[in-house]
Chains A and B, each alone.
Chain A
Amino acid sequence: MTDLKIPSVSRVRLRTATPGGRTWHPVLIVAALSLWALSLPAVDLSRINGYGLISVLPPTYFVAIGMLCAGFAAALVGSAGPRTLLAYPLALLTLFHLVVPIVFAEPRYSYVYKHIAVARYISEFGGIDRTVDIYHNWPGIFAAAAVFSDVAGLDPAVFANWADPFFATCGALAVYFLARSLTTDPRRVCVTVWLYVMTSSGSQVYFAPQSLGFFLALVALGVGIRWLGPTASDRTRPLFRAVEGRIVARAGRLLTRAPWVSHLRLLPVGAAHLPGSVPLARGAVGGRAAGGALLLMATAVVITHQLSPFFLAMWLGALVVSGRLRAWWMPVAVVGLMAFWIYLSYDYISLHFTLFAFDPFENVKGTQASIPAPGSPEFRIVGLSARVLIVLIVGAAALSWWPAHRSRRETFVWIVAVAPAVVLLVQSYGGEAIYRVVMFMLPLVCYLASRAIATRPRRRPRLRILVMGVTSFLVSSLFLLNYFGLDQVNNVQPQEVRASEWFETNAPPGAMLAYLNGYAPTPATAAYAEHLNVDGNWGGGIFSDTRFAGYAGRALTAADLPDIIETWRSMSRSGEVFVMIGPTQIAAVETYQYSPPGSIRKFVSALLNDPALQIVYQDGDAYILRVVTSSPE
């Protein structure tokens, strides 16, 4: 008979309760939030330099972050409860993301404004027109925003600025939901959320289709893992044995027999049939209810974003292959929904996009590959911070997983994590696919990385607190650099928004708006469909349109103007051309070095003084110029 050592009650109490821990953690969190709130009035956006908002944040802001990092480390090494542990990442998220609507007067990112324009279009005209642009073919978030706008009586531009904290909170809570589907350890769940908050980029937290698609896809994945895994009774059902059991078993045998796979121990043999492979189903949600919820969310993802449903299908497919999803038809259903929606949009897509591009080496290149120069030194450091964050978290995940890889219990998480990368075989998504792949991999990579961090230290807890607190602070600083580092470009000025709205309200139908590059807050109103160019696209940027291929990377001068104006005219449907100049565009040219340092301001000066262009609107340093039509002799 085995002699079981049962700890005494006093020992258990010592391990599970820290005297005073319940009081000082909330006090610390409230103090950090108070310090953060006090530091915001000191932010002066006019002094932003090449490192963005981070250059004008007062030291108290960083002290508040340091307090949270130290508090979380102490809570984790000590024995704080799950609620206390979860409060830390949520507080950190507040410090990071609630800054945006409080500090910035207008929605951040110039490319948000076209999303606002589509929502305004649907709200005003009560419908969509699939011939206008890609957004009218995937209108999910815009239709939802238009409903909200109409019912609440709020303009989309007002709540678009709050989308940042909203989607950041949704994403973090979805990661919590997903992590709880993978483990019963509350410490690990909270560490996963903490890591996610510190390493996620800004691409999934603004008013954009992928933000909503990401949130819904994460929750759908959590539902699939938690409630649609194979049960003991499934193994006895004839249909399961005949169809799914055979497919899964064959796939498993095929993969595990391959020498490279068996060496790496990627798949547990017959994972679906291992006892204890479904230990995590929590609560009482039946398969039908869970399946219905998953399909509803999948449908919303399909009609919201082009890439997100692909990632969701890959995730679900990876779950089926690794024997963790009994509803084998679920990924098939998602692909079917996607195919149906692409069929409805095919007329537009076939004219403007390439559906498949089987060139993985080209697809893996990001949008930075199209920039002619390496960019300003600050821009390079900001870009490096993003790459360092990714390397750190993937490295932590690998180091955390490796010691336990022989048990194979979490190997399937790696398979699900890397599944979105399949998209790189067939699409570049305008150079954005690689960023989206990283975005969808991140939650699961954070979960894998949490394994080692969440374990209780046996020795030297104070050293562990110090190391973890300092590391968290450094990683948070990298996040801030990555997230706020490009705010010279992302901080859209109110006068630019007013100029953009002036053009769309006052320019005659068919007139085109030209600019230096796409970093102008246009289009912005429901009237934008009247001003598309001859290609059916919006605007004509010197550094963003392929017609101006020879201009990027060199200094533009007044001598280039006649050719540029002629090209703009050829792009306008009515021949009427307006030109928008604003500080954000100039900052973008200088940051990405589309032209040599200092040259763009001279060119803008030449534009403003050229007799072929007449200033028709000025608001501070934002201008709308009209190309003067020469009268026939």
Chain B
Amino acid sequence: MIWTDVIGVLSCVLVVTVVRATRISPPADIAPPMRAPIRVALLMGMAITTASSSFVIVHGPEAMRLPVVIVTVLFAPGYALVVFRRLDDAVDELVLAVALSLALLVVTGTLMAGFGLWQPGVLVSLSTVVTAPALAWHATYLFLLPAAATRVPPARD
């Protein structure tokens, strides 16, 4: 289902454009305090990987298939949820993201198997359409934040 990749990529572009233009920000209590270049690169990389996953799975080189599927299925869905909450710890964020991704995979996989509607490709497509724009939104928002030099130290726990 390559068309979902087209939708995913277009959604990402649209989201980036809208966020850049309007500077929509999350509520102050969950907003990250500063720009984090590694985090921006990581999230944008994850968004691009997820948005292009269906194409890579079908037409991409064999060596790229496994890493793309791992990112799309085991990390991206959870990160798309977790990034909208401020956790202040990268490991906490990783654990929650993987747990939520696995939980979503288990629940949707069981639903598909239980109802006899086995379409793993659709699951990837859904992930492409939903999670890629969410990750792109957050990465863009983070990119627009003030750089670390002007940051205010985050409040201690």
Q: Measuring CB to CB, which residues of chain A are less than 8 angstroms from any residue of chain B?
A: 86, 122, 126-128, 139-141, 143-144, 146-148, 150-154, 170, 173-174, 176-177, 180, 184, 212, 215-216, 219-220, 222-223, 280, 282-286, 289, 293, 296-297, 299-300, 303-304
Question: Which residues of the partner chain A approach B99 to less than 8 Å between Cβ atoms?
Answer: 174, 215-216, 219-220, 297
Taking the closest CB of chain B, its distance from the CB of A607, in whole angstroms, is: 39
Question: Which residues of the partner chain B approach A173 to less than 8 Å between Cβ atoms?
Answer: 91, 94-95, 98
- Residue from A128, A170, A283, A293 having most chain B Cβ neighbours under 10 A: A283
Contact B107 A296 (CB under 8 A): yes
Contact A296 B104 (CB under 8 A): yes
Instruction: Tell me the bound Cα distance from A304 to B110 in angstroms.
Output: 9
Taking a contact as CB atoms closer than 8 A, the residue among B62, B72, B92, B106 that contacts A303 in the complex is: B106
Question: Which residues of the partner chain A approach B113 to less than 8 Å between Cβ atoms?
Answer: 122, 126-128, 139, 143, 146
Taking a contact as CB atoms closer than 8 A, the residue among A126, A147, A180 that contacts B105 in the complex is: A147
Contact B91 A86 (CB under 8 A): yes
Say if the beta carbon of B130 comes within 8 Å of chain A: no
Instruction: Tell me the bound Cα distance from A216 to B123 in angstroms.
Output: 21
Taking a contact as CB atoms closer than 8 A, the residue among B73, B81, B85, B103 that contacts A148 in the complex is: B73
Instruction: Tell me the bound Cα distance from A122 to B109 in angstroms.
Output: 10
Question: Which residues of the partner chain A approach B57 to less than 8 Å between Cβ atoms?
Answer: 151, 153
Question: Which residues of the partner chain B approach A300 to less than 8 Å between Cβ atoms?
Answer: 102-104, 106-107
Taking the closest CB of chain B, its distance from the CB of A206, in whole angstroms, is: 16
B107-124: CB near A (< 8 Å → 1, else 0) gives 111101110101011011
| Cβ-closest chain A residue relative to B85 | A285
Instruction: Decide yes or no: A143 and B110 within 8 Å by CB, A284-B30, A293-B96, A297-B100 being known contacts.
Output: yes
Question: Which residues of the partner chain B approach A139 to less than 8 Å between Cβ atoms?
Answer: 110, 113-114
| Cβ-closest chain A residue relative to B27 | A284
Contact B92 A147 (CB under 8 A): no
Question: Which residues of the partner chain A approach B70 to less than 8 Å between Cβ atoms?
Answer: 152
Instruction: Decide yes or no: A282 and B89 within 8 Å by CB, A173-B95, A177-B95, A219-B99 being known contacts.
Output: yes
Question: Which residues of the partner chain A approach B147 to less than 8 Å between Cβ atoms?
Answer: none
Instruction: Tell me the bound Cα distance from A280 to B88 in angstroms.
Output: 13
| Cβ-closest chain A residue relative to B109 | A143
Question: Which residues of the partner chain B approach A128 to less than 8 Å between Cβ atoms?
Answer: 113-114
Contact A146 B109 (CB under 8 A): yes
The size bracket of the interface on B is 35 or more
Instruction: Tell me the bound Cα distance from A151 to B88 in angstroms.
Output: 33
Contact B95 A219 (CB under 8 A): yes
Contact B124 A148 (CB under 8 A): no
Instruction: Tell me the bound Cα distance from A152 to B155 in angstroms.
Output: 42
| Cβ-closest chain B residue relative to A296 | B103
| Cβ-closest chain B residue relative to A173 | B95
Contact A284 B86 (CB under 8 A): yes
Instruction: Tell me the bound Cα distance from A180 to B81 in angstroms.
Output: 20
| Cβ-closest chain A residue relative to B119 | A126
Instruction: Decide yes or no: A151 and B73 within 8 Å by CB, A177-B92, A184-B157, A297-B100 being known contacts.
Output: yes
Instruction: Decide yes or no: A153 and B65 within 8 Å by CB, A147-B73, A282-B87, A296-B103 being known contacts.
Output: yes
Taking a contact as CB atoms closer than 8 A, the residue among A143, A285, A293 that contacts B106 in the complex is: A143
Instruction: Tell me the bound Cα distance from A293 to B72 in angstroms.
Output: 19
Question: Which residues of the partner chain B approach A282 to less than 8 Å between Cβ atoms?
Answer: 87-89, 92, 157
- Closest CB pairs A-B (n = 8): A126-B118, A143-B109, A300-B103, A219-B99, A300-B106, A283-B87, A152-B69, A150-B120
Question: Which residues of the partner chain A approach B30 to less than 8 Å between Cβ atoms?
Answer: 284
Instruction: Tell me the bound Cα distance from A293 to B100 in angstroms.
Output: 7
Taking the closest CB of chain A, its distance from the CB of B156, in whole angstroms, is: 9
Question: Mind listing 12 A-B residue pairs with CB under 8 Å?
Answer: A86-B91, A127-B116, A139-B113, A147-B123, A151-B72, A151-B124, A216-B103, A220-B99, A280-B157, A283-B87, A283-B89, A284-B86
List B43-62 residues whose CB lies under 8 Å from chain A.
57, 62
Contact B107 A299 (CB under 8 A): yes
| Cβ-closest chain A residue relative to B90 | A83
Given contacts A144-B105, A177-B95, A297-B99, list 6 more A-B pairs with CB under 8 A. Answer: A126-B113, A128-B114, A143-B110, A148-B69, A215-B99, A283-B92
Question: Which residues of the partner chain A approach B109 to less than 8 Å between Cβ atoms?
Answer: 140, 143-144, 146-147
| Cβ-closest chain A residue relative to B157 | A282
Question: Which residues of the partner chain B approach A296 to less than 8 Å between Cβ atoms?
Answer: 100, 103-104, 107
Question: Which residues of the partner chain B approach A148 to less than 8 Å between Cβ atoms?
Answer: 69, 73, 105
Contact A176 B91 (CB under 8 A): yes
Contact B105 A152 (CB under 8 A): no
Question: Which residues of the partner chain A approach B98 to less than 8 Å between Cβ atoms?
Answer: 170, 173
Question: Which residues of the partner chain A approach B104 to less than 8 Å between Cβ atoms?
Answer: 296, 300
Taking a contact as CB atoms closer than 8 A, the residue among B66, B86, B95, B114 that contacts A152 in the complex is: B66
Taking the closest CB of chain A, its distance from the CB of B157, in whole angstroms, is: 5
Taking the closest CB of chain A, its distance from the CB of B43, in whole angstroms, is: 17
Contact B95 A176 (CB under 8 A): yes
Taking the closest CB of chain A, its distance from the CB of B2, in whole angstroms, is: 15
Instruction: Decide yes or no: A127 and B118 within 8 Å by CB, A177-B96, A282-B157 being known contacts.
Output: yes
| Cβ-closest chain B residue relative to A141 | B106
Question: Which residues of the partner chain B approach A146 to less than 8 Å between Cβ atoms?
Answer: 109, 113, 120
Contact A126 B106 (CB under 8 A): no
Instruction: Tell me the bound Cα distance from A147 to B114 in angstroms.
Output: 13
- Residue from B70, B72, B99, B114 having most chain A Cβ neighbours under 10 A: B99
Contact A151 B95 (CB under 8 A): no
Question: Which residues of the partner chain B approach A184 to less than 8 Å between Cβ atoms?
Answer: 157
Question: Which residues of the partner chain B approach A126 to less than 8 Å between Cβ atoms?
Answer: 112-113, 116, 118
Instruction: Tell me the bound Cα distance from A177 to B87 in angstroms.
Output: 11
Taking a contact as CB atoms closer than 8 A, the residue among B29, B91, B118 that contacts A284 in the complex is: B29
Taking the closest CB of chain A, its distance from the CB of B96, in whole angstroms, is: 7
| Cβ-closest chain B residue relative to A286 | B85
| Cβ-closest chain B residue relative to A280 | B157
Taking a contact as CB atoms closer than 8 A, the residue among A122, A177, A215 that contacts B102 in the complex is: A215
Instruction: Tell me the bound Cα distance from A220 to B107 in angstroms.
Output: 15
Contact B110 A303 (CB under 8 A): yes
Instruction: Decide yes or no: A144 and B102 within 8 Å by CB, A126-B118, A284-B29, A299-B107 being known contacts.
Output: yes
Contact A297 B91 (CB under 8 A): no
